[in-house]
Amino acid sequence: MRSGRRYFKENNTVYALTHMEWDCKNAAECPFYGAATPALTFFSVVPLMMSPNGRDSWTHARPPPNHLVAAQPYRWNESLGRGPNFGFRSPSGVVEARDGSGWFYATVTAGWGVPNPRLGQLGGTCMMRTRDLTDPQGWRAWGGAGYTVELGANPYTDPVVPADHVCVPFTDVTYPSLLWSSHYRKYMLFGTSHGGDNAGWAFALAPDLAVAGSAAAWSPPVVLDLAGHLSPTGNATINATAAKFSGRFFLENGDPPSPQMWWEDEGRTVRRPVGQCTPCPGVEACAQPTLRLPPAEYANLTVKPMFSCAAIGMVTTSGYAAFIYPTLVDPASPGDNFDEVGATAELFLVASKCASATGSPLACSPFDYDGLVVRDIVRVPLAFS
């Protein structure tokens, strides 16, 4: 979950835009995707949350479903077609306009998958604004000529014309931080450049948020030169070892026989699903004699997450596989909302460790061989010229 918050000191209340997603992993959860669609997909929305006690506890700003700020205007149905994700996500922080107008601004990412556009919505980041942070339905997004589009229409409770609830993106920057730059005396958008998680980081400037929903309002993006401090694609290394392969592969010989291949450890205590014919260097699982075991021989084995070469000591890994999800913060920012940066700031990144590896060629994974994602937070100091 990513969120952009606004703190009201006078009553110790916080309002926050959040990103919530529901992951659909199989045909049982999403039957209209079909059993032939193995890729994970997710459905995401942006709700408004509030804390009445300065972040000690949280609740919906309005009773659901009236807490929605942005959601896709279609009910799930088979005609939507297939895609990796669907909905709105990754809101930025909330910035109050410095012109005394009383408007609060934030960005939201339209992640509607491929093709682009899909169902009338272009992928990218849209600007939106409100004067009432307590009202989820008060937000309006840029529609091409102004802030006129309500993104929180609910197709399950109200008659909805989907074409009326799509926004016009102004940038492909993802995971944006929206800030006021006291150094440049302009508004700053900071995030992942060129729409890719591993494409590096960049910022752009705009003098006025009233028209910042248009791409023309922003300066060309400035790509950061971190002087080798880190690479967006990480610094991971994978080394194959001379360890002897252990365990064995087998197929289930139940009724009916299963095509799922498993690996069983030497001690015959656990089994792990195998997703590749060459799960480790020099190990050709599919080329080995096919061993089919009756249920009595594998039913009592503990099922573990996906097989990894690291699980049996055939590879060693180190470093980070990627640096992702940038957030720009100035610890010296005045006020309580961290919505301003000066000449210096700090870039916080999620660093995904190379926790395991499998395949040929070997590829890093942030999931260890017990299925747990391994990540750190890293901080990089920045100075603006």
Q: What percent of the chain has pLDDT over 90?
A: 50
pLDDT recorded at residue 290: 66
Q: Quick one: 141 and 15 in the same domain? A: yes
- Comparing 240-244, 270-274, 288-292, which segment has the lowest mean pLDDT? 288-292
Residue 35 binned pLDDT confidence (cut-offs 50, 70, 90): very low
Statement to judge: residues 150 and 245 lie in one domain: no
Q: What is the pLDDT of residue 289?
A: 59
22 lies in the same domain as 156: yes
Instruction: Look up residue 350 and give its two tokens.
Output: 């999620």
pLDDT of residue 38: 44
Read off the pLDDT of each residue in 194-217 and give the average, rounded to a whole number. 91
- DSSP state, residue 210: G
Partners of 283 in the beta sheet?
280
Other C-beta atoms lying within 10 Å of the C-beta of residue 140 = 20
Q: Enter the DSSP assignment of 77.
A: -
More confident residue, 336 or 197: 336
Last residue of a domain, one of 139, 154, 169: 169
Do 18 and 152 share a structural domain? yes
Question: According to the model, what pLDDT value does residue 252 have?
Answer: 85
Distance CA 192, CA 201 (A): 5
pLDDT of residue 350: 93
In whole angstroms, what is the distance from residue 247 CA to residue 298 CA?
13
Same domain, 16 and 135: yes
Q: Is 162 helix (H, G, I), strand (E, B) or coil?
A: helix
Distance in angstroms (rounded) separating the CA atoms of residues 327 and 173: 12
In a domain, 255, yes or no: yes
Res 376 pLDDT > 50 = yes
Provide mean pLDDT across the span 127-156.
95
Among the candidates 169, 198, 221, a domain finishes at: 169
**∠ CA 253-259-264, rounded to 5°:** 65
- What is the average pLDDT across 70-77? 84
Q: What is the structure's pLDDT at 30?
A: 61
Q: Is there a domain that residue 297 lies in?
A: yes
Strands 3-8 and 13-18: antiparallel
Residue 195 counted as domain residue = no
* DSSP reduced 3-state for 348: strand
Q: Give the pLDDT score at 383.
A: 92
Residue 101 lies in a domain: yes
pLDDT computed for residue 276 by the predictor? 83
Q: Domains in the chain: how many in total?
A: 2
Quick one: 283 and 151 in the same domain? no
Pair 15, 132 in one domain: yes
Residue with token string 């995904």: 352
Cβ distance 355 to 318 under 8 Å? no
CB 86 within 8 A of CB 148: no
Predicted TM-score (pTM) of this structure: 0.85
Q: Bin 369: left if φ > 0, else alpha if -120 < ψ < 50, else beta.
A: alpha
Residue after which a domain boundary falls, among 127, 152, 169? 169
Q: Is 60 exceeded by the pLDDT of residue 34? A: no
Residue ranges making up the domain that contains 136 = 3-169
Mean pLDDT of the chain: 87
User: Is residue 63 one of the residues assigned to a domain?
Assistant: yes
Are 15 and 154 found together in one domain?
yes
- Residues 13 and 132 occupy one common structural domain: yes
Give whichever of 19-28, 255-264, 368-377 has the largest mean pLDDT: 368-377
Q: Report if residue 347 sits inside a domain.
A: no
In a domain, 203, yes or no: no
44 pLDDT higher than 80: yes
370, part of any domain? no
